[in-house]
C-alpha cells in the first residue's frame, strides 16, 4: 500500500514504482469536476480509470475487498472518506470470490485492519496483496468524487 498527495508528485516521482507513476500521470492536471462519471480508457483493459460519485457509508455496511489482476489507485477528487486496509497474509478465506468474472473478492472481516483518512487530493495505491475497505464514512456520510485508476498487474510483469 502507498499513500500520497497528488500535489507532492514532483517529490515522489523518483520513489514511486513506474507502474504506479503511469496511473498518477493520468491524474495530473485534470479538471476532475468536468470528467463524466464512468469508465475512461487510458490503454484499453491494461490501464483505465473509473470516475465514481457516491455517498460514504458506515464501516459496518462496507465489506473489505481485494483484487487478483489489477492494482487500484484510489484518488479523492472531492469529499473525504476512510479506507480500511490490511495485508492478505493472515486474512480468512474470502466469503465471495468473483476473481474470474470481475477481479474482486469480498471478506466479512480481516484481522489487523488499519485506516487511512482520505481527503481531496490524496491517493492510495492498493496492490493485489492488499485488502481494502473503501467508501467508509469518517464521522458522517459524505459525498465523494473518486477517480479509481486500475492497472493490470499481469500485463505489466
Q: Which domains does the chain have, with CATH numbers?
A: 2-152 (2.60.120.370)
pLDDT (0 to 100) of residue 63: 97
pLDDT (0 to 100) of residue 14: 84
Can you say how many angstroms the Cα of residue 81 is from the centroid of all Cα atoms in its chain? 12
pLDDT (0 to 100) of residue 154: 85
pLDDT (0 to 100) of residue 155: 77
Q: Is 14 left (phi over 0), alpha (psi -120 to 50) or beta?
A: alpha
Q: What residue ranges of the chain have pLDDT lower than 70?
A: 156-157
Under 8 Å between Cβ of 137 and 58: yes
pLDDT (0 to 100) of residue 112: 94
Prediction pTM value: 0.94
Which distant-in-sequence residues (6+ apart) come within 8 Å of 34 by Cβ?
none
pLDDT (0 to 100) of residue 115: 96
Centre a 10 Å sphere on the Cβ of residue 110 and count the other Cβ atoms it contains.
21
pLDDT (0 to 100) of residue 156: 60
Residue 67 in grid coordinates: 483484487
Amino acid at each position: 500500500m502507498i499513500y500520497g498527495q497528488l500535489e507532492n508528485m514532483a517529490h515522489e516521482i523518483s520513489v514511486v514504482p513506474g507502474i504506479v507513476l503511469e496511473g498518477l500521470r493520468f491524474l495530473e492536471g485534470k479538471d476532475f469536476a468536468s470528467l463524466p462519471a464512468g469508465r475512461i480508457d487510458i490503454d484499453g483493459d491494461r490501464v483505465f480509470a473509473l470516475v465514481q460519485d457516491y455517498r460514504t457509508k458506515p464501516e459496518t455496511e462496507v465489506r473489505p475487498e481485494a483484487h487478483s489482476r489489477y492494482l487500484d489507485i484510489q484518488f479523492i477528487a472531492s469529499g473525504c472518506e476512510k479506507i480500511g486496509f490490511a495485508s492478505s497474509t493472515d486474512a480468512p478465506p474470502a466469503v465471495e470470490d468473483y476473481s474470474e468474472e470481475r477481479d474482486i473478492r469480498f471478506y466479512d472481516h480481516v484481522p489487523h485492519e488499519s485506516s487511512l483518512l482520505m481527503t481531496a487530493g490524496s491517493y492510495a495505491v492498493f496492490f493485489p496483496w492488499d485488502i481494502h475497505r473503501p467508501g467508509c464514512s469518517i464521522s458522517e456520510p459524505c459525498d465523494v468524487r473518486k477517480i479509481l485508476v486500475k492497472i493490470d498487474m499481469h500485463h505489466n510483469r
